[in-house]
Amino acid sequence: MRIACLHTATSNIEVFDTAARTLGIAPDVIRHEVRADLLAAAEHAGHLTDEIAEATASALLALARHADVVVLTCSTLGPSIEHIPADTQVPVLRADEALATEAVRSGNQVVVLCAVETTLETTSRLFHTAARQSNAVIDVQWVAGAWALFKAGDIEAYLKSIARAADSAYEAGASVVALAQASMSAAAGLVMSGPPPLSSATAGLTAAVQAVASNAATPPAHATPGR
């Protein structure tokens, strides 16, 4: 099995490697590529443009040539998946979509925390779409100031701000808290008022493993059933 991950922050390599170890995925299974320029371009534009989405899709397809599954780990770039041709043989997944699916399955009062303001619209749309198949009520919240701490390199303060927001969500009645950005994952261990929030790294890699297994179990279109 070969899993390729497209990140927009180098620090997310360790986040996904940690999640992989927790899930029992061997270290040599995952290949990482970092394209910080794509997120920087989206932040500069104030949103994900068609040009950036096309560039992201091209990067994902390049990774797919040497992988069994590709995971896009940046929620801001998530809608770029829509630019992947439908006949692409290798599954290309959004980590945040896997997170949304898990979150609405796990509880009915779901608070989704976002650190990056440019991802609020796409994350909200994604989680509300997932909630249509459940009784979940979605509340997407922006943790103001958190991303500035991350970009300044003050990761400890960044994670503490995320954990405080998660604690506040639980205290206000949330049954599930989901951390929309992979960079937020380590904040889960700092949360005191409820269970560890769900992370896109664990959800994304779990979905990737399941996609590879499903792909392997599906016979080619030209195959004759039973042979």
Cβ atoms within 10 A of the Cβ of 106, count? 15
Alpha carbons 54 and 60: distance in angstroms, whole number: 10
- Which CATH number applies to 97-198? 3.40.50.1860
- Which CATH number applies to 3-94+203-217? 3.40.50
| 5 within 8 A of 35, measured Cβ to Cβ | no
| 47 within 8 A of 16, measured Cβ to Cβ | no
Alpha carbons 122 and 18: distance in angstroms, whole number: 26
Q: What is the residue-level pLDDT of the chain in tens, covering all 227 positions? A: 999 999 998 989 999 999 999 999 998 999 999 999 999 999 899 888 999 999 999 999 999 999 999 999 998 898 999 999 988 999 999 999 999 999 998 768 999 999 988 888 889 999 999 998 888 999 999 999 999 999 999 999 999 999 999 999 999 999 999 999 999 999 999 999 999 999 999 999 999 999 998 877 665 554 333 33
Which H helix or E strand runs over 31? Answer: strand 30-34
Residues of the chain with CATH 3.40.50.1860: 97-198
pTM of the shown model: 0.86
